[in-house]
């Protein structure tokens, strides 16, 4: 698998701080005239880090992810992505930013009239890659997620788990700088869940910042170096301040995020 | 081998230039759009062919009549009419600027009035005071000055002579043809407007149907132009299919109408046939239709996408 590369992890530290890839500062979000679904959310994501986003249903996880993959603008606050103010980013520059973000939607959102193969090829085609350069990586990716014999299957003929794997393959095929996944293993068996998690980790080791929204504590425990973001009624619980002010060498001291996090 | 078999259909599609074009379902003749365009193109082709044929008929008639002058000798006395007619003919043949002058034979005059007066056995049309006619062809156009010169030349020796330019008789016909041409142009503009409106509605409808797909593709980093291009291409395919059907229908209708008008045997109508350049204009109509559809679809989709994040 081309993604397998154990070297090259990018780690943030106070001595040699990596440029933050995402920065939220007092971000609030409300839909229409309703109450704020996110309030005073502040955190920083660094390149090459692995984050889990957790919280009860309705806590605002999906809304936060929407802000992360630029499907929504916040009602207030500051968001910087890739060193640029994302709030005032002109509309015509959004596609360039979005191509750097891979998204696994909770409801997969596969294009119904396209085959599994064409769905996975979409990000590469959108990025303007030549057809001959697309064929091998797309086929390899589908083989890797166990769908080598379902290339031409339409989403409607795939099971929930198969659709989820196609959605994940589509999200990672272009090796994004940030991978945002909303409950990415909800419909797959435990073995496949672990396998997909390993795929995310491989991508993470290549420098991709991974943000996975999940309720699955078992899954979180499988990634000891991960950081936890916990949302509670639209507010981000950051008891240690690690999300806003990452401690020095936070990922190399052996402590797992779970040790400090106050999980539900 | 198994993989080659699995990927072969996709490789063949790639050869056909697929890619972003497959973001939306392929255009099919089963939808209403190609047929709407086919009807619009067929009507436009017939309207344009009519306008072109009318233009030719008017131009040919105008050229024929440009130097034509009719001299009538209006006298109730047959002998005097005959005398003045012969004198006028001599004067006209000597007059400068006259190419040709010839008296219209009596049997032709009788034939001209026959539809109004009938031909019963024993009728003597020669006894009727029908004006003698002289058909004159000038070297140049029958301008008012040229007509005045002829009138002056005839005034003394053939005082019963009335000189008229032939084109003046058909002036109302030319005006009517001009009005019909404008009407055809107006119809073509209306058809174009109706086509653009239909495309606008179809594009909005397609945007609504494929909104989910568009949102996903947007999230994957597609630009508005990429998405608009997909719609544009899809609708252009619809328009091309509809345009071809419409062109065929329009041409068949035009040929059928042409045959019917030819059967009338009227000289003016016969001169209204289409030249090869006119057929090229008709062939260009579906091409213009496809361009109109593409531009309309593009602008509609871009305007709608601008309202999305």
Q: What is the pLDDT of residues A22-45, one digit of tens each?
A: 999 999 999 988 889 999 999 889
Contacts with B222 (C-beta within 8 Å, 6 or more apart), sequence order: A95, A126, B20, B23
Residue A247 pLDDT class (50, 70, 90 cuts): low
> Hey, is the C-beta of A80 within 8 angstroms of any chain B C-beta?
no
Q: What is the pLDDT of residue A257?
A: 41
* Residue in the block written with tokens 């034509």: B68
Residue A166 distance to chain B (closest CA, Å): 14
- The answer to whether the beta carbons of residues B293 and B239 sit under 8 Å apart is yes
pTM over 0.80: no
pLDDT at A4 over 70: no
Q: Which of A197, A191, A187, A260 is nearest to A229 (CA)?
A: A260
* Domain regions of chain B by residue span: 20-62+172-305, 75-159
Phi first, then psi, for residue B2 (nearest 5°) are -60, -40
Rounded CA-CA distance A212/A227 in Å is 10
- A10 secondary structure, DSSP code: -
Higher pLDDT, residue A198 or B112: A198
Chain segment B165-200, per-residue pLDDT in tens: 877 777 787 788 888 889 989 999 998 899 888 888
Q: What is the pLDDT of residue A197?
A: 87
Q: Which helix (H) or strand (E) holds A217?
A: helix A217-221
Q: Which two tokens stand for residue B249?
A: 């229908």
Chain segment A99-145, per-residue pLDDT in tens: 999 999 988 899 998 999 999 999 999 898 888 899 999 999 999 88
> Hey, is the C-beta of B309 within 8 angstroms of any chain A C-beta?
yes
Instruction: List CB contacts (< 8 A) between B218 and chain A.
Output: 95, 98
Rounded CA-CA distance B56/B185 in Å is 15
Which of B7, B218, B220 is facing A135, going by the closest CB pair? B7
In Å, how far from its chain's centre is CA B230?
Answer: 35
- A151 secondary structure, DSSP code: T
Q: What is the pLDDT of residue B267?
A: 56
Strands A209-213 and A50-55, bridge-based pairing: parallel
Residue numbers in chain B where pLDDT is lower than 50? 1-2, 4-9, 11-17, 27, 29
**Cβ–Cβ of B223/A92 closer than 8 Å?**
yes
Q: Which two tokens stand for residue B277?
A: 């350049």
Rounded CA-CA distance A74/A71 in Å is 10
Residue A136 distance to chain B (closest CA, Å): 10
- Each as own residue / partner, the long-range contacts of residues A133-138 (CB below 8 Å, 24 or more positions apart, any chain) are A135/B7, A135/B10, A135/B11, A135/B14, A137/A2, A137/A173, A138/A173
In Å, how far from its chain's centre is CA B104?
Answer: 35
Q: Which two tokens stand for residue B241?
A: 């299919």
Q: What is the pLDDT of residue A20?
A: 83
Rounded CA-CA distance B208/B205 in Å is 5
**Cβ–Cβ of B226/A126 closer than 8 Å?**
yes
Q: Which of residues 186-245 of B touch A (CB under 8 A)?
A: 212-213, 215-224, 226
Rounded CA-CA distance A66/A248 in Å is 29
Task: Please compute the mean of the pLDDT values over residues A149-160 and round it to a whole number.
Answer: 92
* Residue in the block written with tokens 């959310």: A41
pLDDT at A242 over 70: no
Best of B5, B7, B10 to substitute, by most chain A Cβ atoms within 10 angstroms, is B10
Task: Number of A to B CB contacts under 8 A, please give it.
Answer: 79
Burial class (CB in 10 A: 0-12, 13-18, 19+), B187: middle
CA distances to A1, A67, A191, B215 from A5, rounded to whole Å, are: 9, 30, 21, 33
Rounded CA-CA distance B107/B125 in Å is 9
Per DSSP, the residues of A108-125 read ----TTS-HHHHHHHHHH
Phi first, then psi, for residue A211 (nearest 5°) are -125, 115
Rounded CA-CA distance A30/A38 in Å is 7
Phi first, then psi, for residue A136 (nearest 5°) are -70, -50
Best of B19, B220, B226, B307 to substitute, by most chain A Cβ atoms within 10 angstroms, is B220
> Hey, is the C-beta of A152 within 8 angstroms of any chain B C-beta?
yes
Q: What is the pLDDT of residue B207?
A: 81
Which of B10, B18, B216 is facing A111, going by the closest CB pair? B216
Q: Which of B294, B158, B175 is nearest to B230 (CA)?
A: B294
Chain segment A79-101, per-residue pLDDT in tens: 999 989 999 889 889 999 999 99
């Amino acid at each position: 698998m081309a993604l397998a590369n154990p070297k090259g992890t990018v780690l943030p530290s106070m001595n040699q701080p990596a440029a933050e890839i995402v920065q939220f500062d007092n971000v609030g979000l409300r839909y229409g005239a309703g109450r704020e679904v996110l309030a005073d959310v502040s955190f920083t994501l660094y390149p090459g880090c692995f984050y889990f986003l957790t919280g009860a249903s309705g806590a605002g996880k999906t809304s936060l992810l929407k802000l992360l993959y630029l499907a929504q603008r916040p009602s207030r606050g500051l968001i910087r992505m890739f060193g640029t103010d994302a709030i005032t980013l002109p509309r015509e520059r959004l596609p360039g930013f979005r191509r750097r973000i891979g998204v696994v939607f909770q409801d997969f959102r596969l294009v119904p009239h396209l085959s599994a193969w064409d769905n996975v090829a979409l990000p590469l085609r959108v990025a303007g890659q030549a057809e001959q350069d697309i064929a091998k990586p797309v086929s390899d990716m589908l083989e890797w997620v166990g769908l080598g014999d379902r290339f031409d299957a339409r989403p409607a003929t795939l099971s929930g788990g198969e659709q989820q794997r196609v959605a994940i393959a589509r999200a990672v095929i272009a090796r994004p700088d940030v991978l945002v996944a909303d409950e990415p293993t909800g419909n797959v068996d435990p073995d496949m869940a672990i396998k997909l998690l390993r795929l995310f980790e491989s991508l993470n080791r290549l420098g991709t910042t991974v943000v996975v929204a999940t309720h699955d504590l078992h899954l979180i425990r499988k990634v000891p170096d991960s950081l936890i973001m916990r949302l509670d009624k639209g507010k981000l619980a950051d008891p240690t301040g690690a999300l806003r002010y990452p401690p020095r060498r936070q990922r190399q001291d052996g402590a797992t995020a779970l040790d400090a996090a106050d999980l539900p | 081998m198994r993989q080659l078999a699995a990927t072969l259909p996709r490789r063949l599609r790639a050869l056909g230039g697929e890619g972003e074009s497959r973001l939306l379902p392929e255009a099919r003749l089963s939808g209403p759009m190609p047929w709407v365009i086919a009807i619009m193109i067929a009507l436009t082709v017939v309207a344009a062919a009519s306008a072109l044929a009318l233009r030719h008929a008017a131009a040919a008639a105008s050229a024929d009549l440009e130097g034509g002058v009719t001299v009538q000798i209006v006298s109730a006395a047959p002998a005097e009419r005959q005398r003045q007619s012969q004198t006028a003919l001599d004067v006209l043949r000597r007059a400068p600027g006259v190419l040709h002058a010839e008296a219209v034979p009596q049997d032709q005059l009788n034939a001209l009035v026959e539809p109004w007066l009938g031909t019963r056995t024993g009728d003597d049309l020669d006894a009727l005071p029908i004006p003698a006619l002289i058909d004159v062809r000038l070297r140049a156009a029958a301008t008012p000055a040229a007509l005045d010169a002829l009138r002056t030349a005839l005034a003394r020796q053939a005082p019963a002579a009335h000189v008229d330019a032939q084109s003046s008789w058909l002036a109302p016909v030319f005006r009517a043809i001009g009005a019909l041409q404008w009407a055809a142009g107006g119809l073509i503009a209306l058809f174009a407007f109706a086509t653009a409106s239909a495309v606008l509605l179809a594009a909005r409808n397609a945007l609504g149907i494929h909104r989910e797909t568009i949102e996903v593709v947007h999230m994957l980093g597609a630009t508005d132009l990429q998405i608009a291009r997909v719609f544009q291409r899809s609708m252009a395919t619809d328009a091309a299919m509809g345009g071809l059907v419409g062109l065929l229908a329009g041409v068949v209708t035009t040929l059928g109408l042409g045959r019917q008008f030819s059967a009338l045997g009227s000289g003016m109508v016969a001169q209204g046939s289409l030249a090869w350049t006119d057929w090229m204009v008709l062939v260009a109509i579906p091409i213009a239709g496809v361009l109109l559809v593409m531009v309309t679809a593009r602008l509609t989709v871009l305007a709608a996408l601008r309202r999305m994040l």
